[in-house]
Amino acid sequence: MSPTTAETASTTNAGTAGETGGTAVRKVTARTVVDSRGNPTVEVDIVLADGSRGRTAVPSGASTGAREAVELRDGDPRRWHGRGVDRAVAHVNGEIAATVRGRDAADQEGLDAALTALDGTPGKARLGANALLGVSLAAAKAAAAARRQPLYRYLGGAGARLLPLPMMNIVNGGAHADNPLDYQEFMIAPVGAATFAEAVRMGSEVFHTLRRDLLAAGHSTGVGDEGGFAPALRTAEEALDFVTAAVERAGYRPGADIGLVMDPASSEFFRDGMYHYAGEGVRRTPSEHADHLARLIDAYPVVSVEDPMAENDLDGWRELTARVGDRCQLTGDDVFCTNEALLREGIRTGVANSVLVKVNQVGTLTEALAAVTTAHRAGWTAVVSHRSGETEDTTIADLAVATGCGQIKTGSLSRSDRTAKYNQLIRIEEELGEAARYAGRSALRGAHGA
């Protein structure tokens, strides 16, 4: 997990191909497509002077941080229930296209800076982060195609060879499912696998074992937004017990072969200074909530917890980090929103020890790469992540390898919008051959990991 790859990722190959004019942007086209929830989203195509092409479909979140870059929606209730993206598409096809045409797509930092300046607002509210990100990522893909390189190699350079530890969401709750479970995600991480392909096999075996166990116990095996099961469980202990049993029944050792990961998404149930556990019918103070999480971390082989505390409960974050940060990875999502300035403040003040990286939270590839670099320089870990509203676009799979971050969160072992990323990583591992390395347990922060 050396920072070297991430530090050079945004400038690798920049300008070299553009000297001939072949990587100048010739055409920019945006359209409305649908995401994994059937909602509209922005897709962008970029064609370069040499004919190289890049295409990106932008994801969308359901559980979102208050400080995320703005996803521009039309708000017209007569179309798409107000969730249309016609304005964002028009911005891409209009003034954004006019700005980037003729620019060198191989100069990622320059192009992204031009996009940010064109918008002119702190949260990309005028043109929309969904409009800007589609152009940013499509340009990177087109430049990679012009260099006849896979995206992970183009962005990460020759040293990009680390396959990430996957965090596989197999039980959904919270905003991702219609069940009483307060915590949003319960995941498995195949820390003991030898290769990424083996990690996928292990995860699939546990996923199908869990399905049988849930059916035997009389639970529904319908899946939530990210492909995990959404049974009518009420407590974190119930979910962790089911997952641990499935790991064992699949023939693996909890903790040694497969670690557990939780995402409470605590901002979703934090109100008026209290954590409201609707499923349990109780309220907990920040200290009581931290106590509860610490007990779960001690009682189960939990190797990582995402958003254990709410984005506005910074005192709670610091308390939990001081208490368990030496033995468990604590990953900030809502509290940082892939924003480098927020991340620097968290590093300075002892909030978390890891950052979740979602490119659409911040709006450009350059800014997302800067967050990874900042985390690595501080000795923190970074986890490249999908969103609950995904597409078949596999950019984040390449991004995880390009940055050498060693961890990816991209959903369950069902729904092709999730498995597409796993399949892309399997292909990358095969392409790398003997040079490929699987991060496994070493990618994690804390005593359970590195």
Q: Which two tokens stand for residue 267?
A: 């901002």
Tell me, yes or no, whether 76 lies in a domain: yes
Share of the chain above pLDDT 90, in %: 88
What CATH code is carried by the domain that includes residue 401?
A: 3.20.20.120
304 assigned ligand-binding residue: no
Same domain, 400 and 293: yes
Tell me, yes or no, whether 275 lies in a domain: yes
What pLDDT score does 140 carry? 98
Average pLDDT, integer, range 335-356: 97
Same domain, 135 and 168: no
- For the chain, give the mean pLDDT: 93
Q: Who wins on pLDDT, 175 or 67?
A: 67
Cβ of 435: how many Cβ atoms within 10 Å? 11
CA gap 147, 171 in Å, rounded: 41
What pLDDT score does 173 carry? 87
Residue 60 scores a pLDDT above 50: yes
Average pLDDT, integer, range 257-262: 98
Tell me, yes or no, whether 4 lies in a domain: no
Same domain, 340 and 387: yes
Tell me, yes or no, whether 6 lies in a domain: no
Find all residues with CB under 8 Å of 134, minimum gap 6, and list them: 30, 42, 43, 44, 56, 57, 58, 92
Confidence tier at 15 by pLDDT (50, 70, 90): very low
388 assigned ligand-binding residue: yes
387 assigned ligand-binding residue: yes
Tell me, yes or no, whether 285 lies in a domain: yes
27 assigned ligand-binding residue: no
Residue 275 scores a pLDDT above 50: yes
Same domain, 275 and 366: yes
CA gap 109, 3 in Å, rounded: 18
What pLDDT score does 65 carry? 66
What pLDDT score does 10 carry? 42
Same domain, 97 and 163: no
Residue 22 scores a pLDDT above 80: yes
What pLDDT score does 326 carry? 95
Same domain, 237 and 128: no
What pLDDT score does 3 carry? 43
Average pLDDT, integer, range 294-302: 97
Q: Which of 234, 226, 187, 223 is nearest to 206 (CA)?
A: 187
What pLDDT score does 279 carry? 86
Average pLDDT, integer, range 98-118: 98
Residue 219 scores a pLDDT above 50: yes
Q: Who wins on pLDDT, 166 or 3?
A: 166
CA gap 296, 300 in Å, rounded: 6
Residue 229 scores a pLDDT above 50: yes
Phi, psi (rounded to 5 degrees) for 58: -90, 130
pTM, two decimal places: 0.93
Residue 288 scores a pLDDT above 80: yes
Confidence tier at 80 by pLDDT (50, 70, 90): very high
Tell me, yes or no, whether 3 lies in a domain: no
**116-136 per-position pLDDT tens digit:** 999 999 899 999 999 999 999
Residue 27 scores a pLDDT above 70: yes
Confidence tier at 4 by pLDDT (50, 70, 90): very low
Average pLDDT, integer, range 2-16: 43
> What is the number of structural domains in the chain?
2
430 assigned ligand-binding residue: no
Its domain, for residue 414, covers 156-443
What CATH code is carried by the domain that includes residue 124?
A: 3.30.390.10
Residue 6 scores a pLDDT above 60: no
Share of the chain above pLDDT 70, in %: 93
Same domain, 165 and 114: no
Boundary residue ending a domain (119, 148, 177): 148
311 assigned ligand-binding residue: no
What pLDDT score does 177 carry? 67
CA gap 418, 171 in Å, rounded: 14
Boundary residue ending a domain (148, 170, 189): 148
Same domain, 103 and 185: no
Tell me, yes or no, whether 421 lies in a domain: yes
Same domain, 130 and 161: no
Confidence tier at 446 by pLDDT (50, 70, 90): low
Which residues are marked as active site? 226, 358
Same domain, 171 and 137: no
Same domain, 225 and 130: no
385 assigned ligand-binding residue: yes
**160-174 per-position pLDDT tens digit:** 999 999 999 999 987
Tell me, yes or no, whether 282 lies in a domain: yes
CA gap 368, 258 in Å, rounded: 29
Are 28 and 92 in contact, with CB atoms under 8 Å apart? yes
Confidence tier at 137 by pLDDT (50, 70, 90): very high
Q: Which of 426, 364, 369 is nearest to 399 (CA)?
A: 369
Average pLDDT, integer, range 21-28: 95
Q: Using alpha carbons, list the distances in angstroms from residue 306 to 139, 333, 352.
A: 31, 7, 9
272 assigned ligand-binding residue: no
Are 76 and 369 in contact, with CB atoms under 8 Å apart? no
Cβ of 346: how many Cβ atoms within 10 Å? 25
**b/e 402-414 (16+ beta carbons within 10 angstroms → b):** bbbbbbbbbbbbb
Same domain, 350 and 274: yes
Residue 448 scores a pLDDT above 70: no
What pLDDT score does 176 carry? 61
